[in-house]
Each structure stands twice: as C-alpha cells, then as structure tokens.
Chains A and B, each alone.
Chain A
Amino acid sequence: MKPAPFRYARADSLAEATALLAAAPGDTKLLAGGQSLVPMLNMRLVRPAVLVDVNGLRELTGITPLPDGGLRLGALTRHAELAASPLVRERAPLLAEAARHVGHAAIRNQGTLGGSVAHADPAAELPAALLALDARVHITGPHGAREVAADAFFRGLLTTALEPEEILTAIEIPAPPPGWGFVEIARRPGDFALAGVAVVVWPGRRPLTLPSPPRGGEGSEVRLVGFGVGDRTLRLIGAERVLAGGPLDAEAAARAGAAAGADCDPPSDVHGSAEYRRHLATVLTERALLQAAARLAGHAR
C-alpha cells in the first residue's frame, strides 16, 4: 500500500502550478487535500510521474461575499471551513450542511472544495449541493480562464469538464434560495451516502436550465439533485417536472418522490442494491422537498 515513486513539486503561484501542469498534463496530478487522490495513489490506481502541491497557492483561498448576495469560494477551502464559516452558513446554508456530512473530522480538516468537485465522485455531497445551487466553476489553464456551469461540469463517473492541463480555481454560488433541503442515508456518520438528495426551491421563478422547460405558468424553479444514485451527480429532471407549475405541498412532494426513482440509475454493490438505492431516492426526494417546504413557510412568515 505504498504509492509508486513520483516526483514532487511545491507550486508557489497559480502561474507556476499551470506551468508545472502544462509540462506533462497527462502524467501530472495536482495535490490539494489529498483525501481522494492519496488513497488512489496508495492503491496504485493512479501512478502519475509528478505531483504538484497546490496547498500554498493564495490565489485559491478565501471565502468572499459577492455583490449579488452570492459567494466566491477558493478551491482550497476545506470542508471544515465550509461547515464552520458564518459567511457560508448565512449565504450558502445548503453547502454548509452538505460539508458537515463529508467524511470524518480528520478528512474535513484536509479535504478541499475544489478537490471534491474535480474528483466528482457520484456519491459525494459537495458536488450535489453545488449542482442544486446552480454554481459556476472557475477554471484556469494555459489558454486563460473560463467558467463552466455546474450543469455542464459533471459529465460521468469521475469525469468532468476539466481538461488535464487546467486547474479548478474557485466556485461561485448565487444568492441563497429561500427553500432548500439536504438529506442522505449512510451506514455510519462520515461514510459515503448510499443515496442522498439536495434540493433548492425558488418560488415564482421560471425554470431556466431544464433541457426542455416544462410548461406550467408561475411555478417555482426547483433544482433536485441525487447523489449515490447514478454514475454522476444527477439532476432528477422527471421529479422536477412533476413539481413545475404547482404548489409544493406534501402531496406534490410524494408524487415527485415517486418520479425520482425513474430518474436514477443507481449502482449495486456490497453496501446496497440498485433497487434499494432507487427506493431511497424516492423517500429522500420527498423528505428533502418537505424540508424545503418547511423553510419556505418559515421564510414567508
């Protein structure tokens, strides 16, 4: 369980890290928190020639409020910071709640937001929260900077829009939604979820990002996301459609839950069958929506 030999370089700036990565993009890995990469190195599932340590890059740190009520989060923001930061709790309570569920304390102390997003484990909490929040992913590469919507970022199993020579630098999230919910089922606190659901509800806002917008007048924009229920962090589009144009009540939540099962394509493994995970997606979608409805009711009061 020792990694294959590699060479190590500590980058002192984003420009340096970009140059080091550009030297051999297919054979170089960035080392941030290392809580996913190092197990893969130790098991020799990956054998890069070079590790570039980006932990010293000031450009990748900081939690900054944005004028529109949103937040910019440096890629090196640790899960423990997300869970504890008053600014994140105020402006992105869904993300703070999701961060609380990532791994154990020792993992949350080291693991980074950017690392979790770039790794894109389909059962990970933070990508699900960011997809629900309609976050934007900021990326820098040898040809300059670009940004990608979360909807276009997660492409498949551990596969994202990030190119081998690019670095994820920051995440931007819009102002907090009035309604949100986050639930997961895991065998122990800190384990990867067997299944989980994150939801964001904007009353009176037309859906903008559905592949084909549902008809239904002045409904809410609902972004429902499942994790651990497919090959990637997954929008539960069928369940979102069920809710379009109608009130968010217990009956609607139950109907959306029933629809969510068909949106999933969960894996079967030693921890749970696909059928069981599909059932969890149904139940958790309903629960997450009820959480969001309760928050909306509190908001309206």
Chain B
Amino acid sequence: MTKPGSEVPRDLLIEAGAILASSLDPTTTMEQVARLTVPRLADLCVIDLRDEDGAIVDVAVVATEEGLARELEELRARYPLDPAGEHPVAQVIRGGEPVLLAEMTDALLRSFAQGSEHARFMIEHGYRSAVVAPMVARGRTLGALSTLRLGESERYGTQERDLVAELARRAALAIDNAQLYSDLQRLEQRLEAVLANLAEAITVVDSRGQMVFANQAAADLLGFLTPGELTRAHPGTVMTRFIVQDEHGRELDLESMPARRLFRGEQHEPLLVRNIVRATGEERWLIVRSSPIPDPENGRIGYAVNVFENITEVKRAQLGESFMAEASRALASSMDYGETLQRVARLAVPQIADWCAVDLLNERGTIERVAVHHPDPRKLELAARIDRAHRPTLDEPEGVPEVIRTGEARIFNDIQPEALAAYAHNSEHLELLSAIGATAVIIVPMIGATGALGAITLVSSESMRRLTAADLGVAERLGRRAGTAVENARLYTERIRIAHTLQRALLPESLPEVPGAEIEARYCAAGELNEVGGDFYDVFEHGEDSWMLVIGDVCGKGSRAAGVTALARHTLRTASMGGQSAAEMLETLHRALRRQPPGADLCTACLVKVTPASGRMRLTVTLAGHPPPVLIHARGDARQVGRPGTLLGVLDPIDVVEHETELRAGETLLLYTDGIPEAGHSGEALGERGLIELCRKAPQLTLAQLLEHIEHTALEHAEGSLRDDLALLGMRMCHSPLR
C-alpha cells in the first residue's frame, strides 16, 4: 500500500516545511503533519506530546482506515500510555533517540501493550513495522512521532527511520514556536489587562513617535474615546489639542517631552507639566515619566513607555497655599500699598491667571487702577489703552463696580463675544477687550473693616484655562488679605501725614540769628514718626535786645501730648511778646495748662534769656521741672547752670528762680531734654555725668558736630530704641568781636 521510492522523503519534507511554517495552531499542525505521512510513509501515524504534568497525550492519529484511527484514539483515552512504561513511545520520550522496530512479533506487541485489549487491538490490526522518533526542540523532548506499517506492507529500514526522525525534529520546532507564541500572547493579554486597569495613563511610542499602545486612562486623559482611536492618531496631532507648559508657564514642545529626549539619548527626568485642554480650558498638572524598552537585537531604544500621573488636585492645592503664603508675605512687607499690590498682581500671574489687575476706590469715590500685570509688556500696553478707553465708574451695573458695590465675588467662564459686546462701553473699548481674548474672569472684592475698598480681577486668556471654584476660593482669600493690608497701609499713611503736620507745628522751621552767636538744634522722635513726641524747642526775640532760648518736654505721646506741646510753645511766645519775664512766662504757661481738661498734663521747660553785652552774653536761666543746661568752657570743662523749679501744670503754686550767669567767647550753652541722659537701660544710661563728659570734646568740634556727637552717643546707648524723644538746643559764642 505504501509507495516506496527515493523521491518520497524530499517531497515529504518540503510539504512538511510548508505546513509547519503556515499555521501556528499546534493541534491543527500536528494533524496535518500526521496526514502527510499516510499513506506515503505509513499506514498509521500517531503524534504524542508530553503535557505539563509529564503525561503522554496523543494529539494526532491518522490511519489509512478512518475507523482504525478513531478506535485507537478511543482506546488510548481509556488506557493512557505509562510514561515510565515499556511502550516504545514512552521509551523514546525518555531516551530522546529514534527507534526502528523493523519487524514486530506478537510477543513484542504484548510486551509493551497497555493491557490485553490494547495487545489484542495491535495484533488484530496487524501492527508489523514501526519507527518512533522523539520531537526535540531546544534540548527538550516534547513528544514522539510514530509511523507504523500494518499487515503485509513493506518493513521500515534505516532510511525511513532517519526520515521520520527529521520530520519529528521539524514538527518539534513548530510546536515549540507555537507554544512560545501562545505563551507570549498570554503574557501580553495579562499585561494589557494590567495596564488597562491602571489609573495612570500609559502610552508606548516607537522611535518615530507613533503610539503603539495606550490604555483607557491615556485615552481619557488625552481626550479620545478609546485607546485604539488614540494609537491611530497621527503623531504630533495629539499634542496640538493642548497648551503644554512647564511649571513656570513656559511653553513646551514635543521635543522637550521625556520620550523624545530618551530617544535622543539625553537625560530624562520626570517632567512636571501644566496641561490645558484647548477645547474646554480645563487645567491639569501631570508628571510625565518615560522608560526605555531596548531592542534586543541591536540594544538601541525601540520603544518608550510614558506614564502620566495626574496630580492636578494636589498641585492646585499646593499652588493655592504657596500663593497665599507669598501674597501674605508681600502684603505684610511694606506699608506702601501701591507697590505691594503690584507685587501681588505679579504673584498671581501665571499661577492663577494670565492677567491680574487691582482697582481701588479712592476718597473721591472713583475707581482707580493701581496695579496690573501680564508677563508680556505689549499686552500691558493693551491694558493701559483699555484703561484710557474706559475707566469704570461706581454706578455701572457690571464688572468691577458691581463687585465693589455689593462686596460679592463674581466668576465667569466660557465668555462669548456677545457677552463682551454687551459689556463694552464703546467700540474702541470692545475692540480692546476682544484683543485681550479673555476666556474666563474672576472678580473678587478687597474687603476691609469698612467694606469693599476695591477689587482684584483675574483673567484667563491665552492659557485658555478654565477658572474653578477652587480658584475663586483662593482669590476671595487674597481679596480679604489685600483689603486688610490696604486698610492698614492707608491708616498708617494717614497717621504719618498727620504726624508730620503736627511735628512741624511743634518745632520752628528755622532759628533766628543771634548776633555774635551760633545756634544749632537737633531733634529725634522716639519710635515711629507716627507717634508725635512731646519735646519742643524754640528761639525768639525777647524785648528790644534779648533772645529767649526755650526747650521743654510735655509728658506723653500722641495727639493729646501734641496738642499740649503746641499750646506750650505758643503760650510762651505770646507771653514773651507781652513783655513778661521768664518766670512770668512760665507762670502764664502753668495757668494755661491748669485750665486744660483734667489728666495731669505735665510739662517741664527751660528758658534762657540771652542778652549780648560787651564781649560776652548775659544769661538768665529759669527752670521749671527741667534738667539744668550745661555751660561748656572754652577748654571743655562743663557745669550745669540754673536752680531747680517746679514743673508746670500739676502742683500749685509753682516756684521758679531766675538764675544769672554769662557766656564768654568760645563758650557753649547746651539745652537738652531728659531723653538725652535717660537714653539706654537703667544703670547703663548716659546720665547727666556722661553728658558732661561728652562735652569735653566741645573744643575740637563745631557746634553742629557737638550736637550730632551727643545725639549719636545717646542713640548708641539706646541701642536703636529710644524711651523718649531727644531734643538738643545749643548756642556758642563766637571768638570774633561783636559786630
């Protein structure tokens, strides 16, 4: 039945090669291989494979008679081959070498039969000659291929044995490949299942930028319905759907993405990306990481796996917090609110918006633009033009005026051209507003204790970012902080202004000239300038040919002390004009102070009447509770002059004494307030003795230098923080003869 001939092997192997290459389903392949051998090489062909547990399973049984094949399959199902038994298939699988059984006797068949039924089957069907060849691939025996001849067919020889062995080897390779492939497929299916279920968006791109894989999260993130739609998109078209920036608002292109850098062989760190969906204005913050998949053949990077981690919520919360912290610092840093608000506007861009503008309601009830920021100077020019085209007034129904009036924040998204047209006040205004290209706007009031002081406007334009409720929250907090800061700054500015005005009223603008003498004064207020001090000094003509030097100190600080100080200074001047003596002037001031509302306004004063005489000055020193002045001789020794007198305004009656002395050429008289000796901690204060010591330097110093030196020393003792004001008034008699 079987055709002999030398052409059979070659044809068989060629045909087998085609079959093995064509299909990758192992069962079908083995069936076809078995079919090849029947009837050309065999009356019966069986292919057995070893399964994972080591059991031997027939995968193909082909015979010249179909009935025989089915019968054998059924028999083998009932009596599986024992892998450790004597059956040639089991032996060959164990041994790995082909076996030629040229002539099988009934006794041989019985010796390896799996029971009597099996033996009877083989004998009845005339099993005569067989070749059993191992199927070996990569050193592993996968199974065995058996060809049999029945009845009177020609017996097998070594030629057939070698042919069957070769066929078995090729079949083994095909099986191995098929198994590898199906293993790979299973692996890939598992991987895909894992990737598809990951919350992180994952894409795989090849070196040309073409996406070869994406999971559903990636499709969702990048705005595609399915991963397939995303992977089919043309490379480069995906990115145009977004505005992609780095943390600092700088635009990023495809080439700066980690995967591209990876393929260029550059360092690739995870990249924090701000991503805005052009279509919706939605903002996301993503961390993009790329890892290489090397090509096993050449070691070059074949693919890059991109992982996109969406950290929008975390990032926005963090940005909001850090923005508020920075803004609060900026707001607290300076009392110059114009400058401060400009800094806040700069901070808001680009973290929250593309534009930030701050408007304040001034005392005149008009709305004033005090700060505006956009990173592009040309755009800032646009803002200035809008401001010129239309300055909103408080009675307008919408926008900043509405927010200032109501104190309620407003948020607008998806701004349409019609809405803009309705809002614009004239055609130029509309044109400029359109040029801004606002897509979303938040306006929040700047709230102070007395209500809205102004408004902060945040505009999203070229970033197209949608402004969210979270942004509104941050903006409202900013509005409250800024409102408080502006209010504080306004109060502070106002106090400084009042303080300056008052201080000017307390001190003479210039000192008159006293012939033959030089006069200098210094004044230093304790603490901030906004606290008006109680020290005062004055120099004015007294009678025909005398001058009066005045220095005094009103106890206390602030507006009441300022009022009393002004009263003291002007009362003394008035009394002087009335021709009163120093003691009478002090009495007048005392009575004036006693007429003040109760509260123990206490005032000390030192009056020195100076009358030029030939070659000297006659001095009359009168003290009312005030430290006595120091008279410094030409060589530098100094002494205090004057008799203590009662301070003014508290105790009745007062007792003051006019003390006469004189000032000679080169001598200096120094009037001061108690802030000088009392400067510094108790025990370390300068003291009156310290002051007298300082005066020893007088001969080497000009009068101005001397006063400066004393003031400087007192400030050093105070270590920069004074208990009290300092006032110094000095007069030095010239060496040159009197005119």
Are A and B associated in one complex?
no
